[in-house]
Amino acid sequence: MSERLQGKTILVTGAASGIGRAVAEGFVAEGARVAFTDRDGAGAAEAARSAGGGSFGLTLDITDESSVEAAFAAVLERGSTLDVVVANAGVQLFGQDAPIADLDLAVWERTVAVNLTGTFLTVKHAVRAMLATGGSIVLTGSPTGLNGEGRDFTAYSSTKAGIHGLARTVAAAYADRGIRVNTVVPGYTETPLVTSISGDAGSRAAIVARTPLGRPGRPADVVGIMVYLASDESSFATGSLFRVDGGMTTL
């Protein structure tokens, strides 16, 4: 254990499973005290108990501003500044998201509510918590917001592109307050979010074939860059995209 994050308090959304959980566990291993937050409060609490290190779980629905406010207040009431926030929670509505001519308004609105508005609310309250002290905010992006990888996922791709733009805007607005904002772009990563791909041999083979490193990503693949961005080692990095996609966006 190198403890590169010793003494830091970190909040991670979507931390009950997948990338969020792996990243939160990685922060704990590096010495941080982590608030595992998720709409699945029981899952977040279980993940925090498993990770140990003084971490704790909180129920947080990123689409509900009062829930976001309450979670941030609960962290601050524990007597800590909030040093890092990872805005990771999101949805991808497989079987519902579609090319625009076939996309139902309700699917669009649900995806925007979670991915874009939810990220906005998370970042808004992260910035408020960091105005006096500075800190690092990290957003989870997607190749679908950069190229044509998500052509059949109009809503998801649009929200991820919006997240990339949000990160740049906030980074520019608050750099003078010592708040850094960056985006990590994982490639196809096998988590519970993508079981409709990982469980279908043909779909899985097709997306792996578009990944130059020749394999799907794992949640652990994202941990290293997240630790770097959470640490003081990245003190001169803001407004940037960090791609961990196996080379997918080079094609």
Positions annotated as catalytic residues are 156
- Rg of the chain (C-alpha set): 17
What's the longest Cα–Cα distance across the chain? 51
Which residue(s) pair with 10 in the sheet? Answer: 34, 84
- Angle subtended at Cα 32 by Cα 27 and Cα 38, rounded to the nearest 5 degrees: 60
- Could you tell me what percentage of the chain is helix, strand and coil, using 3-state DSSP and rounding each to the nearest 5? 50, 15, 35
Distance between CA atoms of residues 200 and 211, nearest Å:
17
DSSP code at position 14: S
Q: Which amino acid is at 136?
A: S
Sorted by sequence, the CB contacts under 8 Å of residue 23 that are 6+ apart come out as: 12, 15, 86, 88, 219, 222, 223, 226
- Are 228 and 234 in contact by the 8 Å Cβ rule? The answer is yes
- Are 197 and 207 in contact by the 8 Å Cβ rule? The answer is yes
